[in-house]
């Protein structure tokens, strides 16, 4: 049986806010730690039947990047729910939300 690992290393500033985030994975193409500005990790807690979340981002991640990141996450969730359950309605509802959010972000960017 194959085993894979994903590792995160977070450097915190004096206020315990992320200053830098690095990650590595055994199945990643490039070797060694790689820098990123944000991670979002969700874990299903079987014992308590709820979702545990870790959302971290560095202060150099722009608001526009953050919004795009979460739109991408939602889009990925739509595909995952379709693959896992075959529920096209559920997946399409999430995709429709993503489309509305992209429109919103694009309109915001035009105003700036």
Question: Tens digit of pLDDT for each residue in 68-107?
Answer: 999 999 999 999 999 999 999 999 999 999 999 999 999 9
Residue pLDDT, tens place only, 5-33? 999 999 999 999 999 999 999 999 999 99
pLDDT beyond 90 at 112: no
**pTM, entire model:** 0.86
Domain extent listing, the chain: 1-59, 62-112
Beta strands in 13-69 (DSSP E): 18-25, 34-36, 38-45, 50-57
Q: What angle in degrees, to the nearest 10, is found between the helix axes of 88-111 and 63-85?
A: 170
Q: Can you give the pLDDT at residue 10?
A: 98
23 CB neighbour count, 10 Å cutoff: 15
CB distance 38 to 17 below 8 Å? no
């Amino acid at each position: 049986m194959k085993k894979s690992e994903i590792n995160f290393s977070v450097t915190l500033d004096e206020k315990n806010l992320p200053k830098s985030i690095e990650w590595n994975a055994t199945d990643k193409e490039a070797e060694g730690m790689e820098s990123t500005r944000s991670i979002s990790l969700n874990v299903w807690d079987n014992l308590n039947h709820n979702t545990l979340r870790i959302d971290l981002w560095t202060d150099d991640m722009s608001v526009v990047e953050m919004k795009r990141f979460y739109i991408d996450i939602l889009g990925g969730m739509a595909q995952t729910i379709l693959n896992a359950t075959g529920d096209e309605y559920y997946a399409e509802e999430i995709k429709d939300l993503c489309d509305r959010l992209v429109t919103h972000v694009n309109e915001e960017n035009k105003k700036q």
